[in-house]
Structure 1
Amino acid sequence: MRLTVLVDNATLTDRYFLAEPGLSIYLEDGGTRVLFDAGYSGILVKNARKMGIDLLRVEEIVISHGHLDHTWGLDALVRLHTEAILEGRERIEPTFIAHPDAFLTRSCDGVGEIGCHLSVEELFRHGKVLLTAAPLWLTENLVFLGEIERRFEFERAPSCGYIYTPDGIRDDTVADDTALACKTAEGLVVITGCSHSGICSIVEQAREICDEDRVADVIGGFHLLDAPPEQVQGILDYFAEVQPAVLHPCHCTDLAAKVALSKIADVREAGVGLHLEYG
């Protein structure tokens, strides 16, 4: 399995790509190409083009959760495919994969929409849409983890505003937050979006679904921004026990959290332009 970071809050040093508060990761497993999240503004298209990655050949577009910093870049992907059709260029019709809540309207702190502004109906015009709360195997080794069971009290966070469902408005606990996991020769590689559901809960679900205790790497957002000490300590205790070979925290993970994690694990730099390969 190979992965490349297309969007993150920062770029690697001396790599001349664009960055923004958002996340998008391109993956290849065997002959299958997967895009995990789409960032905020559409810079993933420019960064991918500069890296020689053809987003028109991506079969599956997986959304970690419905927040704007992970979904608003879908606009750019829709335009990319629309132009390809009009210009007669080859493309693969993508399948959009997400939790059923991922495309619902959300609001927070007076902002009218912090969720995806493309509806499921609109996405259906541009490809297939598969909504599931259950785990879904994308390849023999790569799995969409589905709705995460929240297992650790120290990771429970307050709601993120409101979500507008067919049954009415309710507090948004970001139940749609999920991740990917890939079985490799070195152990599991877990790819996260923001980890609103809890980074430890995500890793535990990945280990359970994949029937693999070894963790080779966790890359993505850990949702640790000014996190309370008891949450940080709980996460440190968990990873000290799991003993991941490497961690690549990025996106919504602040410096203090990275420093704390570095005391119990091999924390490495992540950013736009990072390319990783696993056996």
Structure 2
Amino acid sequence: MIAFRIQAIVDNCTRPAKEPLATEAGLSYWIEYGDKNLLFDTGHKEAIQKNLPLLNRKLNQIDGIILSHGHYDHTGGMTWVMEELNKDIPIYAKASVTDPVWSERITGMAYAGTDPEILAPIQKNLHAIESVEEIMPGFFLVPRASQRFPQPESSKFLFEGEEGHLLPDSFRNECFVVVQRPEGIVVLSGCSHQGIANIVDKAQTLFPNQPVVSVIGGFHLQGRKPDFKERPETIDAVARFLQRQVVGTIHTGHCTSVPGFERLQTILGDQVDYFYAGDVLEL
């Protein structure tokens, strides 16, 4: 069996007893899969730069980068990462990961995409994912979720296109990971703007005879505007879906938010936990 571990490098929260890890509104995971090391997203800004050495991780050990989508809180660390790396490595993402995207805030519309200064290095090393692709044995990148279930209500505040000609975000720049394990499949998502139910549903469609043994990532249940969060009954519906479809543990954080996690926990109990910066999963 191929060894599979994930460590949260960047998250909004860390455990109080942990080393003095930096926190920020962002997400980055270090994936060990067999003899390969992958960086899944890079957080928002400085946290990845501070936390990697504290967690005994060396950037030059990574063999590739996966960008789950193009929002700045997942790609912002790329500026430092690309400056520090002394080798070209593949960047797995949708071709549209560098397209402009926007977020409606209290103060108006704000650019929410990747720093323009890092677009060229990303495009130079981009390995575009436009169909389901097995990049390592049993390790798949999936370019699109299903559309059977509602997207998060908070996704309506997100847009794509050029300034002055914005459209509701289609999330065509979003992808997710499915990993086959002996017991079933593991689903790994960044922000789940398409809806974690749709992401899990797509994974089940692709691997119909394999149970979902774990779901990991952010579920986009809260954001920057006061009303940029899900209603309690909507979170409850997500929790019940996961309770029905996932036979193992759910590890969430980042845009799920602590209140969102606590609401999920009222239904899921010990089946769900918060995946804090510094935590490690053996899968």
Q: Do they superpose with TM above 0.5?
A: yes
**Residue in 1 aligned with 2:276?**
271
Report the more deviating stretch, 102-111 or 65-74.
Answer: 102-111
**Residue in 1 aligned with 2:235?**
232
**Residue in 2 aligned with 1:107?**
102
Identity, % of aligned positions = 25
| Counterpart Cα distance in 2 of 1:240 and 1:274 | 23
State whether residues 7 and 44 of structure 1, in contact with CA within 8 Å, keep that contact through their aligned partners in structure 2.
Answer: yes
Q: Structure 1's 176 and 123: CA in aligned 2 closer, same or farther, altered over 3 A?
A: closer
Query: Does 1:121 find its partner at 2:115?
Result: no
| Correspondent of 1:254 among 252, 257, 261 | 257
Q: RMSD of the TM alignment (CA)?
A: 2.3
State whether residues 3 and 276 of structure 1, in contact with CA within 8 Å, keep that contact through their aligned partners in structure 2.
Answer: yes
State whether residues 178 and 197 of structure 1, in contact with CA within 8 Å, keep that contact through their aligned partners in structure 2.
Answer: no
Q: Per-residue deviation at 1:216?
A: 1.9
Query: Does 1:21 find its partner at 2:25?
Result: yes
Deviations 1:99-151 (A, max 9, x none): 122111223333542100246433245xx211223122121121111122222
Q: Per-residue deviation at 1:220?
A: 1.1
State whether residues 190 and 217 of structure 2, in contact with CA within 8 Å, keep that contact through their aligned partners in structure 1.
Answer: yes
**Residue in 1 aligned with 2:225?**
none
State whether residues 154 and 230 of structure 2, in contact with CA within 8 Å, keep that contact through their aligned partners in structure 1.
Answer: no
Output the TM-score relative to the length of structure 2.
0.85
**Residue in 1 aligned with 2:226?**
none
Deviations 1:156-209 (A, max 9, x none): 6543443226xx643223232221121122322221111101001111222222
| Counterpart Cα distance in 1 of 2:94 and 2:146 | 13
| Counterpart Cα distance in 2 of 1:12 and 1:164 | 38
Q: Per-residue deviation at 1:246?
A: 0.6
Q: Per-residue deviation at 1:19?
A: 0.9
Deviations 1:219-244 (A, max 9, x none): 21011123124422331231222143
| Counterpart Cα distance in 1 of 2:209 and 2:40 | 22
- Superposition pairs of residues 145-164 of structure 1, within 5 angstroms: 145-153=142-150, 155=152, 158-164=155-161
Amino acid at match of 2:16: T
Amino acid at match of 1:209: L
| Counterpart Cα distance in 1 of 2:73 and 2:151 | 25
Query: Does 1:135 find its partner at 2:144?
Result: no
- Secondary structure in 2 matching 1:252: helix
Unpaired segments of 5 or more residues in structure 1?
85-91
Amino acid at match of 1:258: F
| Counterpart Cα distance in 2 of 1:272 and 1:15 | 9
State whether residues 150 and 195 of structure 2, in contact with CA within 8 Å, keep that contact through their aligned partners in structure 1.
Answer: no
Moved over 6 A (4+): none
Q: Per-residue deviation at 1:255?
A: 3.3
| Counterpart Cα distance in 1 of 2:92 and 2:76 | 15
